[in-house]
């Protein structure tokens, strides 16, 4: 992506202030910064995961299977836990299956449901990719530990307000 000669969020704040007043500028800047940061982190993480042909959503699904008690979960439950639409989890598992990291089978007790299961290759890849992601600090450099903890606490308030923390 080409580098701009100015900070686009600062310019947006200037325009917002000029046309809509100063009262909403801090909210607009915060939200725009969060959205841009999500793009930056996704790009960084996808780059770290490239050697295993993983994207961050595929990595999350793989890790959900890796940590599951039996190495498998119903697709519906995976979608709920990852908070994605059923179509998205289906596509994610399709991608993991093509890579040989997961398999899809019918649920033994309810043939209408599908299970995703991690393969032995998937377990190896999950461990290797996690080492790489941890070494890259999940793409959060240059932030320091205390900053990350503060940021998490601040964002937790928003998540709590949206009932995103569970029971």
pLDDT tens-digit readout, 38-53: 999 999 999 999 999 9
pLDDT-based confidence at 72, cuts 50/70/90? Answer: very high
57 and 44 co-located in one domain: no
2: in domain: no
107 and 66 co-located in one domain: yes
Domain interval for residue 144: 138-167
118 and 82 co-located in one domain: yes
* pLDDT of res. 1: 65
111 and 58 co-located in one domain: yes
Count Cβ atoms below 10 Å from residue 104 Cβ, excluding itself. Answer: 15
Is residue 142's pLDDT more than 70?
Answer: yes
34 and 68 co-located in one domain: no
70 and 121 co-located in one domain: yes
H helical segments located in the chain: 8-20, 25-49, 56-67, 75-82, 86-98, 120-135, 145-161
The pLDDT of 111-129, averaged and rounded, is 93
pLDDT-based confidence at 167, cuts 50/70/90? Answer: low
36 and 77 co-located in one domain: no
Q: What is the mean pLDDT of the chain?
A: 94
pLDDT-based confidence at 117, cuts 50/70/90? Answer: very high
103 and 36 co-located in one domain: no
* pLDDT of res. 56: 97
pLDDT-based confidence at 165, cuts 50/70/90? Answer: confident
Is residue 2's pLDDT more than 80?
Answer: no
How many Å apart are CA 89 and CA 106, to the nearest integer? Answer: 16
Q: Which of 2-16, 54-68, 110-124 has the highest mean pLDDT?
A: 54-68
57 and 127 co-located in one domain: yes
pLDDT-based confidence at 106, cuts 50/70/90? Answer: confident
1: in domain: no
Q: CB under 8 Å, gap of 24 or more: what pairs does 6-15 form?
A: 9/33, 9/36
**Pair of tokens at residue 106:** 């019918």
41 and 61 co-located in one domain: no
pLDDT-based confidence at 79, cuts 50/70/90? Answer: very high
How many structural domains are present in the chain?
3
């Amino acid at each position: 992506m080409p580098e701009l000669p100015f900070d686009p969020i600062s310019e947006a704040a200037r325009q917002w202030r000029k046309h809509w007043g100063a009262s909403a500028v801090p909210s607009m800047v915060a939200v725009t910064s969060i959205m841009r940061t999500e793009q930056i982190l996704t790009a960084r993480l996808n780059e770290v995961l490239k050697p295993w042909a993983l994207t961050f959503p595929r990595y999350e699904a793989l890790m959900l299977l890796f940590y599951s008690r039996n190495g498998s979960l119903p697709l519906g439950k995976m979608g709920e836990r990852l908070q994605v639409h059923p179509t998205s989890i289906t596509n994610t598992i399709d991608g993991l299956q093509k890579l040989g990291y997961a398999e899809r089978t019918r649920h033994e007790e309810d043939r209408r449901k599908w299970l995703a299961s991690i393969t032995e290759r998937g377990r190896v890849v999950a461990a290797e990719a996690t080492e790489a992601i941890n070494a890259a600090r999940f793409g959060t450099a240059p932030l320091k530990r205390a900053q990350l903890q503060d940021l998490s606490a601040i964002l937790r308030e928003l998540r709590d307000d949206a009932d995103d923390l569970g029971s």
